[in-house]
Chains A and B, each alone.
Chain A
Amino acid sequence: MLKIKVQDLNKLFDAISEKEPLYMPLEKAGEANYGLYKTGEKTALDVLKTVKSAKDLFFPQSETIVKFKTEGKNITVEDIREEVKPFVLFGVKACDFKAFEVLDKVFLADPVDTYYQAKRNACTVVTFACRRPEESCFCKVFGIDAANPVGDVTIWKDDENLYWRENTEKGSKLTESVRYLFAEGGEKDVQNQQEETRKIIEKLPFSSLDLSYFENTEMMDIFNRPEWQKLSEACLACGTCTFVCPTCQCFDIREFKASNDQIIRYRCWDSCMYSDFTQMSHGNNRTTQMQRYRQRFMHKLVYYPENNGGLFSCVGCGRCVNKCPQKLNIVKVVKTLGGKKDD
């Protein structure tokens, strides 16, 4: 284990960013989000939850996938994929890191999404253990240890030091390049912090959330529960929950006419909350917000686990709990449906 004084952190960031692009929580216009670090940038490592999750780095909100060029009456397809240079993603919390696993199962399964894969492979992930989780956190429910995330490197931080543990070969390589900034030690401090964090987690109000109903009930029974109607009635059909969610992976493919002879085909995040989400030429098979709302949670709690060996596609980051404009969230769904099990 290595450690570095907190006052030297900027040196660390500068050192990393000198070699490879460094993405980490930065504060811009008052909000913490992942961004490209440049010397002098206002970092926001201590913010528990960035507004958007870290998935942006592998699966950006908007991404060009191909370009078309017309010349007179001919059209050519331009492959714009380039090799992605190695980069460092720094400060990823355990929940967000777990979310990568959820995304990998979608994007890296056959057929592989090469856009995602290229970025995923190029990235060295430095995870960051939580010290003070808050009441909206419930990662424990999904078997995540917020005090001990993995990734290529894991860091802990207290008021004095940042502690550094390499986990993988990629991690070692990164460690090597900045080793000179570190001193040895800190195991004990980390251990103490972990114990304390775990104690807090035990006490969090959602930590005892029971998901067994979703594991043990017939899909259609859940689907047909009458409570969905009441649960969804305040839903505004905005996409906040899906866009702040670290595991939501839906996208739309659209085209943009950049000039008369140039068309950009890009993909961008889509939300199952939107009324045109399942719009097809024949019409839309989800016509009410209840159906759309149900879809989102059925996907997280039932469909995805069904297809992925029981892995829920929620990691308990609690962003939706904090950010839903009308305070609807997955916890309310789990409690309402799971609380009264059908006989």
Chain B
Amino acid sequence: MQRIGVFICWCGSNIAATVDVERVSEAIKSEPGVVFSANYQYMCSENGQQLLRNAIKEYHLTGVVVGSCSPRMHEATFRKAAEAEGLNPYMVEIANIREHCSWIHKDREEATEKAIILVRTAIAKVKLNAPLTAGESPVTKRALVIGGGIAGIQAALDIAEAGFEVDIVEKNPTIGGRMAQLDKTFPTLDCAACILTPKMVDCAQSDKIDILTYSEVEDVKGFVGNFKVKIRRKARFVDETKCTGCKICMDNCPSKKGLNEFNMNLNNRPAIYIPFAQAIPNVAVIDPEQCLKLKSGKCGLCQKKCGVGAIDYTMTDKIIEREYGAIVVATGFRPINIDKFNEYGYSENKDVITSLELERLMNAAGPTNGVLLRPSDNTHPKVITFIQCVGSRDLTDCGKPYCSKICCMYTAKHAMLIREKYPDTEVHVFYIDVRCPGKNYDEFYRRACEQYGVDYIKGMVGKVYNQNGKLMVQGSNLIENEQVTIPSDLVVLATAIEPEPSVRKIATLLTASIDTNNFLTEAHPKLKPVESPTAGVYLAGVCQGPKDIPETVSQASACAAKVIGLLVKDSLKTNPCVAQSDESMCNGCSQCANVCAYGAITYIDKEFRLGGGKTETRRVAYVNPAVCQGCGACTVTCPSGAMDLKGFASKQIMSEVEEICRK
């Protein structure tokens, strides 16, 4: 006979104000199987947990139901408390009478009735609970970092620092990411390259870090502690181990009309190239779409000129397979496509540029060697107008509903730098709001306004059009309540950022969830901001949400801490709520394996006794409990009901249904 204890939490007044907790615990007392029923102000408090523990001891409880807040909040708390008293933690069920009851219903009578039903439902379930024990699985002591931007670099360095091996997989020919493209960084105005490139070099020099550039994750199998990852090493056509980065090939390449992606396509590069001077690895790569030899078989100049024989036109993509215990996703971002924003005339006017393009135009290593010249005629712009929130906080189909977070600050930075370098330049900024929370951020913005005389205009821009060679920026000034038109030489759009699109594929491979804006979802928005819901997968940088460099670096280091915490363990406890096949009923039809997203189900031939001394060998399903994630897809596919899910067994759910429908 089951001995169930029921504990109703007041949650201060959160529950007790709407639900008559006394009545609930009184009503529950007469339920068959219930031997103890009480209510308490805060069940999650030390005293509340002690109440629970005492009752387990005193009443020899075999099952516990706590009527409280969502199980997503405190299920683990109460399970732990029960475990401490020797009760199997999976004999504890939560009735959610706060989020699903007291907080949404106003009528006390109605809410109390519902609370009673919800608690009874949990009792019905717990009666069918079985004690579950977690299994163990070993941990591969190596981490994978996907993305070689500042987030990936920082995470890799921190993990390596702790003594674990780590691989960085970067799809571009060099690590460095977006930060490498930046000129200066806010709010200190130090040069991005100066602070980034030493970290890149550290990566290259670390004996724990293996940098796999020009590579992409192709397939991920396995689970926390035991990932098996296939990585595609794209054909570079240059032997990484031989190339010295001397650039002779680049000088000799006849096909020089390639768009220079690193410079935001503002100038050209040869078909064989090194993206930028400080690239890591400092190794050339051939663009197969552009290379004459690869396209037509005629040329081969670079091979002839290469002193070390690094060029190999026959190179093909290679797939390598490695094992990891943890994965950090740091796939970064890109500016959104703004072709659709006709009002700003980006595609018609060369002198309407994005902020990232401006970064390149101001960078000493950029297309103009750091001299600010406008693209149309290479002259100094005298009037520059910045437009904020282009595509951010935009509810139309063209833009993004979220705030890109970094634009206010980088625009202030741009404005300040221009005013500093070219004091004769007039700088206007159209903004909706200026958002500068952060250490020294608001001060930075105020300096732009007050010290550097940047003209901030609160209002939106309706139109940018070309009139006699001038870009007319027509907008509203909400403070003066007037329409203004500013004839400008250069217009800079603070373009929204979005997750690098390749993240979708990676999310699918990792079974990590993604939100409607393609940002990866963290396991908990507040309490687990760097974990993905998939165990062993962590998130760093903009792939999880818009953020600036300091935040990205913090998150990357947090990821590293999590990864290190995981990799120091020799084995992991596995989730015991996994599928299990009742072999006596299994037909071996293979339908379950077909729907398993984790490849957790295999088949074995098993001998069964039929009675009368006869036996029969049947093919039956076997679920690997370390691989199974417990979704239950297989349980519904199984026609005979042989497949069931521990912790969410069919009988338990049906029992819940029965109880809920009890009127």
Contacts and interface: CB of A to CB of B under 8 A. Distances in A.
Contacts of A70: 32
B610 A260 contact: no
Nearest to B614: A287
Interface in A244-297: 257, 259-260, 283-284, 287
Interface in B576-632: 610-612, 614
A307 B120 CA distance: 53
Given A283-B611, A284-B611, A287-B612, A257 B32 contact: no
Interface string B30-54: 1110000000000000000000000
Contacts of A226: none
Contact of A260 (B611, B612, B614, B658): B658
Contacts of A72: 30-32
Contact of A73 (B32, B612, B659, B662): B32
Interface in B1-38: 30-32
Interface residues of A, number: 9
Interface string A165-207: 0000000000000000000000000000000000000000000
B30 A260 contact: no
A260 B32 CA distance: 10
Nearest to B661: A259
Interface residues of B, number: 11
A72 B35 CA distance: 12
Interface in B634-662: 658-659, 662
Nearest to B29: A72
A283 B609 CA distance: 12
Contacts of B31: 72
Contact of B662 (A259, A283, A284, A287): A259
A72 B611 CA distance: 43
Contacts of B659: 260
B104 to A, nearest CB: 25
B128 to A, nearest CB: 14
A284 B614 CA distance: 14
Given A260-B659, A260-B662, A287 B611 contact: yes
Contacts of B658: 257, 260
A70 B614 CA distance: 45
**Central interface residue in B32, B120, B610, B658, by most chain A CB within 10 Å:** B32
Contacts of B610: 287
Interface in B258-297: none
Contacts of A283: 611
Nearest to A257: B658
B611 A73 contact: no
Interface in B523-564: none
A56 to B, nearest CB: 30
Contacts of B612: 287
A213 B604 CA distance: 50
Contacts of A257: 658
Contacts of B32: 70, 72-73
Contacts of B120: 260
Nearest to B612: A287
B629 to A, nearest CB: 33
Contacts of A259: 662
A177 B662 CA distance: 49
B633 to A, nearest CB: 29
B212 to A, nearest CB: 59
A329 to B, nearest CB: 27
12 contacts: A72-B30, A72-B32, A73-B30, A73-B32, A257-B658, A259-B662, A260-B120, A260-B658, A260-B659, A284-B611, A287-B611, A287-B612
8 pairs of A and B residues whose beta carbons are closest in the complex: A72-B30, A287-B611, A260-B662, A73-B32, A287-B612, A283-B611, A287-B610, A259-B662
Given A73-B32, A287-B611, 9 more contacts: A70-B32, A73-B30, A257-B658, A259-B662, A260-B658, A260-B659, A260-B662, A283-B611, A287-B612
